Amino acid sequence: MLFDTHCHINTEDFAEDYEAVLERAQEIGVKKLAVVGFDKETIARALWFAEKYDWIYAIIGWHPVDTIDCTPEDLEMIRKTAAANPKVVAIGEIGLDYHWDKSPKVEQQALFRQQIEMALALDKPIVIHDRDAHQDVYDILAEYKDEPNLRGIMHSYSSSPEMAERFIKLGFYISLSGVVTFKKARVPHEVAVSVPLDRLLIETDSPYLTPVPYRGKRNEPGYVHYVAEEIAKLRGISYEEVVQATYENACRLFVI
């Protein structure tokens, strides 16, 4: 009962063989999949997958790196689509990315707030992209801490266990990707152990962040079981317990 809560099979990386990729995922036990659209093209493709496959859901939003390309019409398209389509289970991935300098920080922060407020109005969870911006992401989310329906996912979480605890208190789940399988990934290992099991999710972020033993190759949704296996090993619990908990957590958050 695996649930890959974040993947990008809607990109060109899977254009030639997505059907085979999805078949392999189902064979390994992936029962549900969330495909993330982050600009006009990938949003349209995510919606296509969600319509074509009953076990696939869409998450749509505007990526912070591309903030300067986002128009008011794009935001309205996201709002209307999320409001009308029950297969859209969250707004994302949204947030801040200070690693790349394509979009100024101030503009990223403004778009981040706009999309948070959109999700709150629609009563949808949000999926957070946070790269080199942990404190600013937390501070902006904390502005909405009194909103009763603030909730979501810290996608491919990369900060500390202490910061994870703060995000959880705001209503967020912590999602771990293939990085947790890396031998020298000390902090993700600590997070995998410290986060309460009822606040943990798993993902691939495929085609990126490929887990061991396929590190360096294209990632795909079926590899999410390696993430679950590593978490089970680190926590000293069964693989089945991790799979069941993360599946139930995702279904609860996405209201599936």
Q: Are 91 and 117 in contact (CB under 8 A)?
A: no
Each domain of the chain, given as residue ranges in start order, spans: 2-254
pLDDT for 149-183, tens place per residue?
999 999 999 999 999 999 999 999 999 999 999 99
Q: Are 129 and 152 in contact (CB under 8 A)?
A: no
Residue 225, annotated as binding a ligand: no
Q: Are 129 and 115 in contact (CB under 8 A)?
A: no
Q: Are 10 and 39 in contact (CB under 8 A)?
A: no
Q: Are 205 and 223 in contact (CB under 8 A)?
A: no
Residue 205, annotated as binding a ligand: yes
Can you give the pLDDT of all 256 residues of the chain as single tens digits? 999 999 999 999 999 999 999 999 999 999 999 999 999 999 999 999 999 999 999 999 999 999 999 999 999 999 999 999 999 999 999 999 999 989 999 999 999 999 999 999 999 999 999 999 999 999 999 999 999 999 999 999 999 999 999 999 999 999 999 999 999 999 999 999 999 999 999 999 999 999 999 999 999 999 999 999 999 999 999 999 999 999 999 999 999 9
Q: Dihedrals φ, ψ of 170, to 5°?
A: -85, -10
- Cα separation, 13 vs 92, in Å, equals 20
CB atoms within 10 A of CB 252: 11
Residue linked to tokens 């801490």 = 145
Residue linked to tokens 């946070």 = 130
2-254 topology per CATH:
TIM Barrel (3.20.20)
Tell me the HSE value of 109 on the side-chain side, using a 13 A CA sphere. 14
Name the helix (H) or strand (E) containing 56.
Answer: strand 56-60
Residue 155, annotated as binding a ligand: yes
Give 117-145 as a DSSP string.
HHHHHHT--EEEEEES-HHHHHHHHHTTT
Residue 129, annotated as binding a ligand: yes
